[in-house]
Amino acid sequence: MSTVELGVLTALAEPNRMRIVELLRDGPRPVGEIAERLALLQPQASRHLRILSEAGLVQAERRAQSRVYHLLPEAFRSLEAWLNTFAEIWEERTDRLDAYLSELGADEESSE
């Protein structure tokens, strides 16, 4: 089972970037459309796309007036890689619940 690289995870840890990747799974899109679909301002979308690009997840092509972004097959060749990123997100989330439950438990004990 392949694991997702750290840089990729860091890039995807930001929920807006995760959503951009989700959107690009449907096919290449110009930056303006990405911003519009995700209710982001264009500079914001561009910033996230730059980070995703540096992580090797997306690539831009200049077409007519705009930059069109697509997912790089090397990063997202399989559903497995995709599912792995979701698994990481949920694993971290259950870790946080565990830590929070420990805090709750400690509070109860100290108040007794």
Partner 1 sequence: MSVQITKDFDNNRLIVERFYRASATVVWACWTEAGHLRHWWGPHGWLVDVFELDLRPGGLWRYRLRPDGQHDLEDEQWGRAVYRVVDEPRRLEFDDGFSDAAGNLIVGSSMPTAVRIDDQQGRTNVSITVEFTGSDELARAEAIGMVEGFSDALERLDTLTTEMGE
- Residue ranges that bind partner 1, judged by CB under 8 A: 13-16, 19, 22, 25-28, 37-41, 44, 70-73, 76-80, 83-84, 86-87, 89-105
Q: State the amino acid at position 49 in one-letter form.
A: L
Q: Between 6 and 79, whose beta carbon lies closer to partner 1?
A: 79
Are the C-beta atoms of 31 and 66 separated by less than 8 Å? yes
Q: State the amino acid at position 26 in one-letter form.
A: D
The nearest distance, CB 42 to partner 1, in angstroms, is 10
The nearest distance, CB 13 to partner 1, in angstroms, is 6
Q: Between 54 and 83, whose beta carbon lies closer to partner 1?
A: 83
Q: Give the chain's end-to-end CA distance (angstroms, integer).
A: 47
Spell out the alpha helix ranges (H) of 1-112: 6-12, 15-24, 31-37, 42-54, 79-111
Q: Between 18 and 66, whose beta carbon lies closer to partner 1?
A: 18
The nearest distance, CB 82 to partner 1, in angstroms, is 8
The nearest distance, CB 2 to partner 1, in angstroms, is 12
For residue 33, give Cα distances in angstroms to 27, 28, 61, 85, 103. 12, 10, 14, 24, 43
